[in-house]
Copies of this chain bind each other. A is one copy, B any other.
Amino acid sequence: MIITFKQTVTPEIQQAFHSKFRNLRKQVFMSGLRMAVVGLDQYRFTDHESEVIEQIISETPSYVQASRNFHPADSTVQLPHSKIGANAFTIMAGPCSVESEDHIRRMAEIARLGGASVLRGGAFKPRTSPYTFQGLGEKGLRYLRKAADENGMDVITEVMDETHVPLVAEYTDVMQIGARNMQNFSLLKAVGKTAIPVALKRGMAASIDDLLNASEYIASNGNTDIILIERGIRTFDHKYTRNTFDVAAVPVLQKLTHYPVIVDPSHAVGFRDLVAPAAYAGTAAGASGIIVEIHDRPEKAVSDGPQALKPDDYLTMAKCIAALRKCMESWED
């Protein structure tokens, strides 16, 4: 149940409702004038109580905090150098893996040159095979942080493991949950207990509802600084693209949830020459940003080389995206 209070409600009255539902052993969440009570479908309010209630929504999705019913306005995630969501558009760029101190620094410069305000790079890598490069670990985090700081950028990097959360939290501005861990509920709970924004990637076979329910594991633990990432789903056709880029998930999610939605064209398509068209598609569909992989010598990249944009292509793409966004801003007049 979601209760919308009248403007006239006082904090004390809201607190009284809160206590009452807690006494019924219900989980209660607040967002401005709205109160969500999990697992409560019906309730007989006293006349006195009804006076402060504007509206009651009985049927709510299981991802109640993520829902527009609970939080109608777009939510935004504020980082030191970036604002994500609402009318902003954010570019996150960088190599798949942090490879060396020097390399990540050069990639950061290129990323920034294209307008990226967030630097990506993996220090802990979720690889299909245990025998391939697993990332530089803490050393990688250190290099990544330094490269971002030198360029006035924020950091996004993946955390794969509940036990690494405190370590990764020391270095990053956004903790990324990878597609393979989207339903690693222990990890979701762990990042939900931190105050670090979380970027949650859609799993390969995750429905829209699955993704939003996964976000609820983070929110129900106290952290609502959440960004959702569409990165392609697994379908019958993966000969010419690595995944199927579900671009319509952008407006679908924006209808259902207030969290910012960004797209990852690199993983969605998996081949360099398709990344830019996919990025344009995601931008035009209304995404709040993109996250892309870049590399100066992709043929030598330690991971995911085939999908990394070369610097020149990245810069050209960034210019086109800027033009698209400018065009789109004029639509709203």
Contact = CB atoms under 8 A, between A and B. Distances in A.
Interface residues of A, number: 77
Contact of A208 (B130, B162, B240, B273): B240
A7 interface: no
B217 A234 contact: no
A283 interface: yes
Interface in A174-199: 180-181, 183-187, 189
A236 B242 CA distance: 11
A90 interface: no
Interface in A7-45: 27, 38-39
A241 interface: yes
A313 interface: no
B160 A163 contact: no
Interface string A262-298: 0000001100011001101111111000000000000
Given A62-B131, A281-B284, 18 more contacts: A62-B132, A63-B129, A126-B183, A129-B213, A130-B217, A163-B186, A207-B237, A207-B239, A233-B237, A244-B244, A245-B248, A247-B281, A248-B269, A251-B278, A281-B282, A283-B284, A324-B324, A327-B327
